[in-house]
Copies of this chain bind each other. A is one copy, B any other.
Amino acid sequence: MPYFDAASAAPLHPVAREALLASLDEGWADPVRLYREGRRARMLLDAAREAAAEAVGCRPDELVFTPSGTQAVHSGMSGALAARRRVGRGLVHSAVEHSAVLHAAEVHTAAGGTVTQVGVDRTGRVAAGEFAAALRADTALACLQSANHEVGTEQPVEEVAAHCQEAGVPLLVDAAQSLAWGPVPGAWSLLTASAHKWGGPPGVGLLAVRKGTRFAPQGPADERESGRAPGFGNLPGIVAAAAALRALRAEAAGGADEAARLRELVGRIRTRVPELVGEVEVVGDPVRRLPHLVTFSCLYVDGEVLLQELDRAGFSVSSGSSCTSSTLTPSHVLRAMGVLSEGNVRVSLPYGTDEADVERFLQVLPGVVRSVREQLGVPVEKPEKPAAAGEETGLVVDALGRRCPIPVIELAKVIGRVPVGGTVTVLSDDEAARQDIPAWCAMREQEYVGEQDAERGAAYVVRRRV
């Protein structure tokens, strides 16, 4: 059964499994103790730290293990911000960071700090110059992911790191999605990652703080992991995580170019899904991207139903559609990119994905999308009744109380009833409409006029162009 959600969690690498088993026997004791079981645990911990540091490209004493990538981000940000409090309280990050960064930024704001978000283009990429321009004299910390977790777009980390260095601002790189594929280049100051994204077990993250970076750990003191990760460490998990990372690097060095193989498979999905399905927007940078991840959105499709149908067909994928989130808002990444969020599917291929599974996905997907669209009564391609001269030039569609993708479907149904130059106004209180109506206009080459206040929700005005 093909599992295509490696960006959430990857199955355990076989080497990690072996290392975990071995360290359950050898690595359960407290590595700070001086007796033989403690010394053995200490040796395992030291070896794991060296392996991880080598894969990250830092010194072993610059790297600590945390209980998760999220906690690495939280600790890294709070420690760096606190250490530079006298410099200022400014925090700069891209608009498409992982929620771990956004949540830590909220805490910073609540404590009186200021946050500057740097926007992205339609591919989800920040412009290095724009990022540099956001750095100010009072900027204490900048955060930029190495690659986006939802759309796979790589960020210009090396260039941004150079700008940060010049400005004297430490840069924290969230490398959760990319570390499996190689170290992050450039003069970053802090780096975080999460083992269960690279085939390690859950329960292990890492935080690297390069020498010379001011750092003041926050929260209660603890002597373990240089005071940067409180509590008794998950040593068997750490050993397994380091073993998996070392194995990935060794396989790559040995000529097994899994990244290139997955890149080609993802390329097929990028090319063929629009051809096979129709009314699809493939998002993210087509070239500067993670090898294993692709996201596309299908017009007139309910994301949650699509995921359920794909699951029934045997495919496990993820989505950034509003209907798949607990808050009923679309993914902040897709919103920042200004792209369609409805019918959104993220495919992220685990290491070793079978090519035949990808082909089968491409066979199954069109039928699944068609059936979901049929259930929703999606309009036919051509307007049923071409608008004649003299017909009403303004139409109002009431989609209040109806959720994504219904407002867009209702718009598409009636656009043909107004003449070219006429407008359709969609009343909607669905958060996704704010994003998806403009995105639909861009895809269909209609003009998005704008949003107006309404008694309930908002009124979205569209002018027919074609």
Interface set of A (CB-CB < 8 Å, partner B):
1, 3, 5, 8-12, 17, 20-21, 24, 28-30, 33-38, 67-71, 74, 99-100, 103-104, 106-107, 194, 196, 201-205, 219-223, 230-237, 304, 307-308, 310-311, 315-318, 324, 326
Q: A107-B220, A203-B204, A203-B234 are in contact. List 11 more A-B contacts (CB 8 A).
A: A3-B37, A21-B21, A24-B201, A33-B316, A35-B307, A68-B232, A70-B222, A100-B220, A103-B220, A203-B233, A203-B236
Contact A34 to B231, CB < 8 A, known contacts A28-B11, A67-B203, A221-B103: no
Contact A67 to B34, CB < 8 A, known contacts A24-B20, A29-B9: no
Cβ-defined contact, B232 with A201, below 8 A: no
CA distance A106 to B37 in the complex (A): 32
| CB neighbours of A316 from chain B (8 A) | 29, 33, 35-38
User: What are 29 A-B interface contacts by the 8 Å CB criterion?
Assistant: A1-B36, A3-B35, A5-B30, A8-B33, A12-B24, A17-B24, A20-B24, A24-B201, A28-B196, A28-B202, A33-B318, A35-B307, A35-B310, A35-B311, A37-B316, A38-B316, A67-B68, A67-B203, A68-B231, A70-B230, A71-B231, A74-B230, A103-B222, A107-B219, A202-B233, A202-B234, A203-B234, A234-B234, A234-B237
CA distance A235 to B204 in the complex (A): 12
Cβ-defined contact, A30 with B9, below 8 A: yes
Cβ-defined contact, B70 with A231, below 8 A: yes
CA distance A67 to B10 in the complex (A): 20
The 7 closest A-B pairs by CB, nearest first: A203-B234, A68-B231, A67-B67, A70-B231, A35-B316, A103-B220, A35-B311
| CB neighbours of A70 from chain B (8 A) | 222, 230-232
| CB neighbours of A234 from chain B (8 A) | 67, 201-203, 234, 237
Nearest CB on B from A132, distance (A): 26
| CB neighbours of A223 from chain B (8 A) | 326
Copies of the chain in the assembly: 2
A325 nearest in chain B by CB position? B223
A20 nearest in chain B by CB position? B24
Question: Which of A10, A204, A219, A310 has its CB near the most chain B CB atoms (within 10 A)?
Answer: A219
| CB neighbours of A69 from chain B (8 A) | 231-232
CA distance A265 to B103 in the complex (A): 51
CA distance A102 to B249 in the complex (A): 42
CA distance A17 to B21 in the complex (A): 9
Cβ-defined contact, A202 with B35, below 8 A: no
Nearest CB on B from A77, distance (A): 8
Contact residue among B34, B103, B221 (Cβ-Cβ distance under 8 Å from A307) = B34
Nearest CB on B from A314, distance (A): 9
A317 nearest in chain B by CB position? B35
CA distance A155 to B9 in the complex (A): 43
Cβ-defined contact, A36 with B230, below 8 A: no
CA distance A194 to B232 in the complex (A): 9
CA distance A74 to B224 in the complex (A): 15
Cβ-defined contact, A201 with B74, below 8 A: no
A307 nearest in chain B by CB position? B34
| CB neighbours of A17 from chain B (8 A) | 24
Cβ-defined contact, A308 with B9, below 8 A: no
| CB neighbours of A307 from chain B (8 A) | 34-35
| CB neighbours of A68 from chain B (8 A) | 67, 230-232
CA distance A316 to B210 in the complex (A): 36
A4 nearest in chain B by CB position? B35
Nearest CB on B from A11, distance (A): 5
CA distance A67 to B67 in the complex (A): 6
Contact residue among B9, B100, B315 (Cβ-Cβ distance under 8 Å from A28) = B9
CA distance A316 to B33 in the complex (A): 9
| CB neighbours of A8 from chain B (8 A) | 29-30, 33
Nearest CB on B from A15, distance (A): 13
Nearest CB on B from A364, distance (A): 14
